[in-house]
Structure 1
Amino acid sequence: MSGGSAIRGSRVGSGPMGEQDRGVHAERIAVSYWDAMGNETVRYFAANLPEEEIPEIIDSPSTGLPAGRDKDNPPQVAKNEPYKTHLAYVKERRTEEEAAQILDEALQKLRERRGSA
């Protein structure tokens, strides 16, 4: 069914939209970013924005990969470390001897509370 209103979504009495209705657009520059798969993403920034405030790397919206401004050398995916459990982090901080000592102290306190020490 294709016979709808030709002005659907428009306000009654509205004229043609354009610069006169919306004001003047600020000057802007287009910056291209490329990901490792060769996809280009264009981002627009204000023309008066200092160069150091324009990001060197963004996340590509199409692939989720990091995208950089150098087409020939796009950034590589950072190696993700596997998820560590709380116990793995504790083992990084404690030696086996320290762990045994802490366990003994905790067991002694528990036995004292229960009256079986």
Structure 2
Amino acid sequence: MATGNAIRGTRVGSGPMGESERGESAARTVVSFWCSNGHETRPSFAVDAEIPTSWDCPRCGLPANTDEKNPPPAKRTEPYKTHLAYVKERRSDADGEALLDEALAKLRAKRGES
């Protein structure tokens, strides 16, 4: 028994579309980029578009350029530092001891200790 829905199973825009309905595709050019791991990436660009000098490798994430023989070096990443590591860069052990003694003296004075 049919429900009377003549277009059941279809949706708007789901029909076959050709070049006549979509419009003409832009002329493309394919450019090869190489990373320092030797991966080649081949994105395509419009012919009249400006080609970037660098591209991120989708496999390893390293920067890549168009020179296969001389790819760019990997970016140097700084290791994670804790707050204490940054404090130790700014202060010497003697400075830390002086600050600790000063803070303890304030606490003792507040408590009435000598």
TM range (shorter): 0.5 to 0.7
Map 1:61-80 → 2, pairs under 5 A:
61-80=58-77
Q: What is the aligned residue count?
A: 106
Normalising by structure 2, we get a TM-score of 0.66
Deviations 1:38-87 (A, max 9, x none): 21112334444445xx2x33321112232222111112223434332221
SS in 1 for 2:64: strand
Structure 1 residue 92: Cα displacement: 1.0
SS in 1 for 2:84: helix
Do structure 1's residue 111 and structure 2's residue 98 form an aligned pair? no
Q: Decide whether aligned partners of structure 1 residues 43 and 63 sit closer, same or farther in structure 2, where only a CA change above 3 A counts.
A: same
SS in 2 for 1:20: helix
Question: Which has more radius of gyration?
Answer: 2
Structure 1 residue 14: Cα displacement: 5.4
Do structure 1's residue 98 and structure 2's residue 95 form an aligned pair? yes
Map 1:27-106 → 2, pairs under 5 A:
27-50=27-50, 54=52, 56-106=53-103
Structure 1 residue 22: Cα displacement: 2.1
- C-alpha RMSD of the superposition: 3.0
Distance in 1, matches of 2:26 and 2:19, equals: 12
Partner of residue 20, structure 1: 20
Q: Which runs of 5+ in 2 are unaligned?
A: 1-8
How many percent of aligned residue pairs carry the same amino acid?
53
